[in-house]
Every structure is written in C-alpha cells, then in structure tokens.
C-alpha cells in the first residue's frame, strides 16, 4: 500500500498570527529584536544527522540576525546533560533548547527554567513537562499509522503469522513511549497480531542487529520489525537480510530522512519509512526560535507547536529526492 501523508498544519494559526503581529517579515524590526539575544541548545549528542541538521539551520538564522547561539553537547551522557542544562538555566539565556533523552530526565529543570523566566523550546522529543514551545514529529500518529500498516500486511487475511518485533531506542524515550502506546492500542483491536519482542537497542545498530537475529531464530515466521529510529533499525534490517528473510519480513522505521536511509532502502534493508525530515525540522526550529525571541507567547497551559510534516516512503513511491544531504 502506497501512502503519502503530510501534517494537517505546518505552523499553528496562532503562531502565524503572532509572527505577523510581531513584524517577523520585516528584517529591520527582526534585527532590532534579535540582535544580541542568547540561545543555548543542549542536544543528547552532536555528530548525528538529526542534531547536526537542526543545529545547522538554527545557526544559519542566528548568524543572519546577530543571535548569540551556542551548542553544549552532552555526548550521550545523561548525567552530563542534566548538568549542562542546569548550568545553562543559571546563565539565564533568552531561549534554552532541550532535546529530551527521556520523558522525565529534564522535566524538573524545564519547569525551573520557565518559572525563572527562561523560555524553553523542546525539539522532537518531548518531556512530561510543558514549556514555551515544541517543534517535532507527532509520535502518536507515526505509531498508529505504522501499526495500522502492520495489521494490513500481517493481520487477518494476509496469510502471515501476525508476529511483530518492536525495537525501540530506549523504552523511556518520548518517541518510544508514545509510539508504543499508539501501536499497542491498534494491536489490541487485532488479536491476530502478536508482539513477540519489545527490546531496546540503546540506539545502537549492532545491538538492534543482535536482538533481531535472536528473534528470527526464535520466531522464523516473523512478519514485521518495527524499529523506532532508522539508524539503529539498519542493524535490524541487516539481521533480516543476513537470515535471507528480506522477502518475508517487512522492516519499518522512522526518522529524519537523511541520505543514509535512502541508500539502505535501495539495498532492501528498510522497507517502509516514516520520515519527518530533520532538515525541515531545523528550519521550523529556527522559525520558532525567532518567534520566541521576538515575544511570541503560548496561551496558558499550552505550548507553541509546529508539527513536522510526514512522508511515508515505500518501495512503490520511493525516489532518491525523498532524502536530504548534509553539506560536505
């Protein structure tokens, strides 16, 4: 089944109205409001296409408008990330950008920042704590749509076993929590679907490969693998390919849609991919950054939100142009 879907609204009407009211389209006004503002981005890790892509676009806008933009790399160290975030709050930047590794890790600090007048934008992975803004994918939608497709491909009337292996990055990461909840809600309506494994890879392709290889040995009639991030799902897809099962087992993945993904789709390692386009997310994050620095405010109890458009890439609709390249 070929499906091409986009988010219903790229930018909420309220945010668009705010941008117009603030005169965001007038360069001189924007320069006056933005020059010298301080922004700190604390990612889980740099050196991966997601964070590099986001940061590139935000840094471009920062340079253009005279914003003091700084990245503090946690390098996959959760203790260091918490410490970096706490230190940034104490410096009272105009905007603090959080890339949450789990739904809980930065929750108290995000609240502390907002209570102390430091606006926080969360990017792609949300905390249980609301903040001024969120830019990123709709994980509920992705989880639901992937599960519905798995039901169609592996469920009643398909002639398949209905067995599914899920490979999250981390079970407590926002994307994994929300996608699993949405997927299991669909599967509960289809008792012929059996989730035979739900083991986290810690975002490591080799660990995802080992997990999937073991599942294939235990369940040679496996129908589908649902990996929560394309990069580590490449490991799962290679396990399927190494076992000679690529014609029988569908490999699903999600992610930012960089060139590596298209290369692996061409090689038959990944079959179906829900792309939220990290390059586009970077542009959206830069837009939101500028809006907040110019005074955009959410309604009480809400967040300013930009939902990332989604493209479902399959063998039937695949084109190399569906993926993006980092500049060399």
Mean pLDDT over 51-69 rounds to: 97
pLDDT score of 243 more than 70 = yes
Give the residue among 71, 10, 46, 52 at the shortest CA–CA distance from 259: 52
The per-residue pLDDT for 300 is: 86
Backbone angles phi, psi at 70, to 5 degrees: -135, 140
pLDDT in tens, 105-123: 999 999 999 999 999 999 9
Arithmetic mean of pLDDT over the chain: 91
pLDDT for residue 259? 94
- Give the model's pLDDT for residue 270: 97
Q: Are 57 and 286 in contact (CB under 8 A)?
A: yes
Q: Which residue has the tokens 């705010």?
A: 18
Could you give the strand order of the β-sheet that contains 304-307, starting from the edge strand earlier in sequence?
68-71, 38-42, 95-98, 119-123, 133-136, 304-307
Q: What is the dihedral of CA 177, 15, 284, 203, to 10 degrees?
A: -10
Q: What percent of the chain has pLDDT over 70?
A: 90
pLDDT surpassing 90 at residue 25 = no
pLDDT for the residue 29: 61
What is residue 142's three-state secondary structure? Answer: helix
Structural Rg of the chain based on CA atoms: 20
Measured CA to CA, the distance from residue 251 to residue 169 in angstroms comes to 15
Average pLDDT over residues 240-269: 96
Contacts of 227 (CB under 8 A, 6+ apart): 167, 201, 208, 233, 236, 237, 251, 252, 253, 254
Which residues have a Cβ under 8 Å from the Cβ of 223 and sit 6 or more positions away? 150, 153, 154, 158, 160, 161, 162, 163, 164, 248, 249, 250
Res 15: pLDDT:
54
Does the pLDDT at position 159 exceed 70?
A: yes
For 224-241, what is the mean pLDDT? 96
- How far apart CA 324 and CA 288 sit, in angstroms, is 22
What number is the average pLDDT over the span 277-300?
Answer: 96
Which has more confidence, 223 or 300? 223
% of the chain beyond a pLDDT of 90 = 85
* Banded model confidence at residue 301, pLDDT cuts 50, 70, 90: confident
Indicate whether 33 pLDDT > 90: no
Instruction: Tell me the domains of the chain and their CATH numbers.
Output: 13-136+278-308 (3.40.50.2300), 139-275 (3.40.50.2300)
How many Å apart are CA 248 and CA 240, to the nearest integer?
9
Give the per-residue pLDDT at 11. 45
How many Å apart are CA 16 and CA 22, to the nearest integer? 10
pTM for this model (two decimals): 0.87
pLDDT of 24 strictly over 50: no
């Amino acid at each position: 089944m070929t499906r091409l879907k986009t988010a219903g609204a790229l930018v909420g009407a309220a945010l668009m109205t705010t941008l117009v009211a603030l005169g965001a389209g007038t360069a001189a006004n924007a320069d006056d409001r933005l020059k010298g503002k301080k922004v700190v981005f604390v990612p889980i890790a740099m050196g991966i296409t997601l964070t590099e892509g986001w940061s590139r676009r935000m840094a471009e806008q920062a340079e253009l408008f005279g914003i003091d933009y700084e990245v503090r790399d946690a390098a996959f160290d959760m203790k260091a990330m918490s410490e970096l975030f706490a230190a940034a709050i104490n410096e009272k930047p105009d905007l603090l950008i959080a890339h949450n590794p789990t739904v809980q890790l930065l929750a108290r600090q995000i609240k502390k920042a907002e209570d102390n007048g430091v606006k926080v934008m969360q990017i792609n992975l949300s905390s249980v704590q609301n903040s001024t803004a969120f830019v990123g994918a709709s994980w509920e939608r992705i989880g639901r749509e992937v599960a519905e497709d798995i039901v169609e491909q592996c469920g009643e009337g398909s002639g398949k076993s209905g067995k599914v292996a899920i490979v999250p990055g981390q079970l407590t990461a926002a994307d994994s929590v929300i996608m699993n909840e949405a997927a299991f809600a669909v599967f509960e309506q289809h008792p012929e679907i059996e989730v035979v494994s739900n083991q986290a890879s810690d975002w490591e392709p080799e660990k995802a490969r080992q997990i999937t290889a073991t599942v294939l040995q235990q369940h040679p009639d496996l129908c589908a693998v649902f990996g929560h991030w394309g990069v580590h799902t490449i490991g799962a897809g290679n396990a399927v390919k190494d076992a000679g099962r690529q014609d029988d087992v569908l490999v699903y993945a999600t992610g930012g849609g960089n060139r590596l993904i298209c290369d692996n789709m061409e090689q038959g390692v990944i079959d179906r991919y829900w792309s939220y386009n990290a390059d586009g997310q970077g542009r959206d994050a830069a837009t939101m950054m500028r809006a907040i620095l110019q005074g955009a405010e959410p309604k009480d109890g809400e967040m300013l939100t930009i939902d990332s458009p989604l493209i479902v890439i399959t063998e039937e609709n695949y084109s190399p142009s569906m993926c993006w390249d980092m500049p060399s």
